[in-house]
C-alpha cells in the first residue's frame, strides 16, 4: 500500500505546485516571464533526450502528444481542445496498458503512426472535413448532446482504466499517466490565459522528466527480475551501517540441478518466489540480491537481537511456500518445495562490512556442508 501511494506522491506534488504557480505566475520577474512560453519546449526537449538515453519509447510518444496544443495554436479554441483532450487522455491510458518496447524500432513507429492518425482525425473534425452532425442531437431529453455524453464517457473510461491499472500494479508510469490526464483536465477547464496554459503544460513535461530520472535510479539500483535492490545498492548500504549490525547470506539449495531439471524459466520463477519471501517476511532486515541465486539480508537497530530467529522463520516460510513449475517429463504443472541455506555474521569492533560479509559467506558454506536448509552463525573473531 505504501509503495503504491508513494508512486503517486511526487506527481501529485508537481500537479498541485503547478496549479498554485499558475495562479501567481504574473508575479514572476520580467526575465522569467518572457522565458515562460519557451519552457514547455525546453522541458520537452530534456524529456525526449532522457527518453532516448534510457530507451523509453512510450515517453517519447507521450511527450510528442503533449506538445501538439503548443505547436498547433488553434487548439486554444474550446471545441478544438476538447477533441484533442479526448484523444490525448485515451492515448495516455492506452500507453499505460502496453509494455515498453524501446525508442527507435517498429513498435515505437507503429504507435507513433497510430497516435498521429488520431490527431489527424481530430484535425479533420475541426476543419469540417468530417462531420458528425447527428451527434448534436439532445441526449434523452436532457440539456446534453450525444457528443457531450460520448466525450465525457471517453474521459471517464480513460481515467478509470489507467487509475485501475495503477492501483493494481503501483507502477510509476501509470501513476504519472494518471496525474498527466488530470492535469490535462485542469488545463481544459481552468487555464484562462496563455501564461497559465504554459505553466501547467511545463509541469506536464517536468513530471515526465522526473519519471525518467526515477527510472534511471531503478535501473541502476533495483534488480529487474526479483524487484529487490541489487549489488550496487547493497554496496552503498554497507557504507552507512552503524557499529552494530548483522549480515546474512542466503543461497537457494540445488539451484543448478533445479535449472537442469525444469529449465531456466522455472529457475527464474523460484528466484522471484524467494525474493518475495525475503521482501515481505525478513522482519526488520533489508533484503538485497547479491547475484545469481544468492541474496543478502542486512539487520540493524532493533532487529539485530532477533536476526537469527527471523532468519530461521524465513527459512521455514520459503520451504513451505510451494512453487508451481512445469515438469517436462510429466508434461504437467507440479508443486515443488524450495529450500535455502543461510549464514549470518554479527559485526565486531574494528571489522569492515566486507570482512563481516565474508564471515557470513563462510557460515553459509557451513550450512551447505551440514546438509543445507539450515541457518549457521559465524563465531565472533578472537580479538588480538
Q: What pLDDT, on a 0 to 100 scale, did the predictor assign at position 384?
A: 45
Half-sphere exposure of residue 27: CA atoms within 13 angstroms, side-chain side: 5
Q: What pLDDT, on a 0 to 100 scale, did the predictor assign at position 233?
A: 93
Classify strands 375-377 and 286-291 as parallel, antiparallel or unpaired: unpaired
Q: CB–CB of 378/359 below 8 Å?
A: yes
Q: CB–CB of 119/184 below 8 Å?
A: no
CA 102 to chain centre: 16
Q: Which secondary-structure segment (H or E) carries 243?
A: none
Q: Is 376 helix (H, G, I), strand (E, B) or coil?
A: strand
Q: What pLDDT, on a 0 to 100 scale, did the predictor assign at position 75?
A: 44
Output the CA–CA distances (angstroms, integers) from residue 214 to 7, 122, 127, 166, 176, in the order listed. 10, 33, 41, 16, 11
- Work out the angle at residue 330's Cα, subtended by the Cα atoms of residues 328 and 336, and round it to the nearest 5 degrees: 80
pTM above 0.95, yes or no: no
Q: What pLDDT, on a 0 to 100 scale, did the predictor assign at position 356?
A: 92
Q: Is 138 helix (H, G, I), strand (E, B) or coil?
A: strand
| Residue with the three cell numbers 549457521 | 376
Q: Is 229 helix (H, G, I), strand (E, B) or coil?
A: strand
Q: Is 231 helix (H, G, I), strand (E, B) or coil?
A: helix
Pick the closest to residue 86 from 7, 153, 134, 169 (CA basis).
153
The mean pLDDT values, 10 residues at a time, for the chain of 384 residues are 77 91 83 86 93 89 85 55 78 88 77 76 65 64 72 87 90 92 86 84 93 90 91 91 91 90 88 92 88 92 82 92 85 89 90 92 93 89 58
Pick the closest to residue 274 from 232, 201, 336, 367 (CA basis).
336
* Cell numbers standing for residue 13: 506534488
Give me the torsion for CA of 36, 38, 40, 43, rounded to 10°.
-110
User: Is the CATH number of domain 231-377 3.40.50.300?
Assistant: no
**H-helix segments, the chain:** 2-23, 30-35, 39-53, 57-71, 78-97, 106-127, 146-169, 172-190, 194-221, 231-239, 255-262, 264-281, 307-320, 353-369
Where do the structural domains in the chain lie, given as residue ranges? 2-221, 231-377
Q: What pLDDT, on a 0 to 100 scale, did the predictor assign at position 81?
A: 67
Q: CB–CB of 211/59 below 8 Å?
A: yes
Amino acid at each position: 500500500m505504501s509503495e503504491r501511494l508513494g508512486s503517486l506522491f511526487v506527481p501529485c506534488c508537481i500537479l498541485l505546485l503547478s496549479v498554485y504557480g499558475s495562479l501567481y505566475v504574473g508575479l514572476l520577474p520580467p526575465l522569467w516571464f518572457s522565458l515562460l512560453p519557451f519552457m514547455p519546449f525546453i522541458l520537452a526537449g530534456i524529456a525526449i533526450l532522457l527518453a532516448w538515453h534510457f530507451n523509453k519509447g512510450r515517453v517519447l510518444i507521450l511527450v510528442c502528444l503533449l506538445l501538439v496544443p503548443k505547436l498547433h495554436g488553434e487548439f486554444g479554441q474550446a471545441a478544438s481542445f476538447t477533441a484533442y483532450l479526448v484523444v490525448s487522455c485515451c492515448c495516455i491510458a492506452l500507453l499505460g496498458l502496453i509494455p515498453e518496447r524501446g525508442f527507435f524500432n517498429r513498435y515505437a513507429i507503429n504507435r507513433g503512426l497510430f497516435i498521429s492518425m488520431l490527431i489527424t482525425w481530430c484535425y479533420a473534425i475541426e476543419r469540417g472535413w468530417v462531420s458528425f452532425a447527428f451527434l448534436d442531437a439532445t441526449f434523452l431529453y436532457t440539456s446534453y448532446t450525444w457528443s457531450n455524453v460520448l466525450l465525457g464517457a471517453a474521459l471517464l473510461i480513460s481515467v478509470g482504466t489507467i487509475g485501475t491499472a495503477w492501483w493494481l500494479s503501483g507502477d510509476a508510469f501509470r501513476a504519472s499517466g494518471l496525474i498527466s490526464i488530470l492535469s490535462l483536465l485542469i488545463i481544459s477547464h481552468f487555464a484562462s490565459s496563455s501564461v497559465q496554459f504554459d505553466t501547467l503544460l511545463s509541469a506536464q513535461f517536468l513530471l515526465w522528466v522526473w519519471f525518467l530520472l526515477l527510472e534511471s535510479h531503478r535501473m541502476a539500483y533495483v534488480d529487474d527480475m526479483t524487484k529487490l535492490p541489487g549489488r550496487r545498492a547493497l554496496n552503498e548500504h554497507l557504507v552507512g551501517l552503524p557499529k552494530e549490525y548483522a549480515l546474512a547470506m542466503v543461497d537457494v539449495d540445488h539451484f543448478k540441478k533445479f535449472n537442469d531439471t525444469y529449465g531456466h524459466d522455472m529457475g527464474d520463477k523460484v528466484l522471484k518466489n524467494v525474493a518475495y519471501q525475503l521482501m515481505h517476511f525478513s522482519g526488520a532486515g533489508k533484503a538485497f540480491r547479491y547475484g545469481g541465486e544468492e541474496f543478502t539480508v542486512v539487520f540493524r537497530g532493533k532487529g539485530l537481537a532477533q536476526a537469527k530467529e527471523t532468519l530461521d522463520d524465513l527459512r521455514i516460510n520459503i520451504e513451505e511456500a510451494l512453487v508451481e513449475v512445469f515438469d517436462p517429463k510429466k508434461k504437467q504443472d507440479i508443486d515443488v518445495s524450495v529450500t535455502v541455506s543461510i549464514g549470518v555474521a554479527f559485526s565486531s569492533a574494528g571489522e569492515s562490512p566486507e570482512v563481516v560479509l565474508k564471515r557470513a559467506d563462510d557460515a553459509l558454506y557451513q550450512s551447505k556442508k551440514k546438509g543445507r536448509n539450515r541457518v549457521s552463525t559465524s563465531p565472533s573473531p578472537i580479538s588480538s
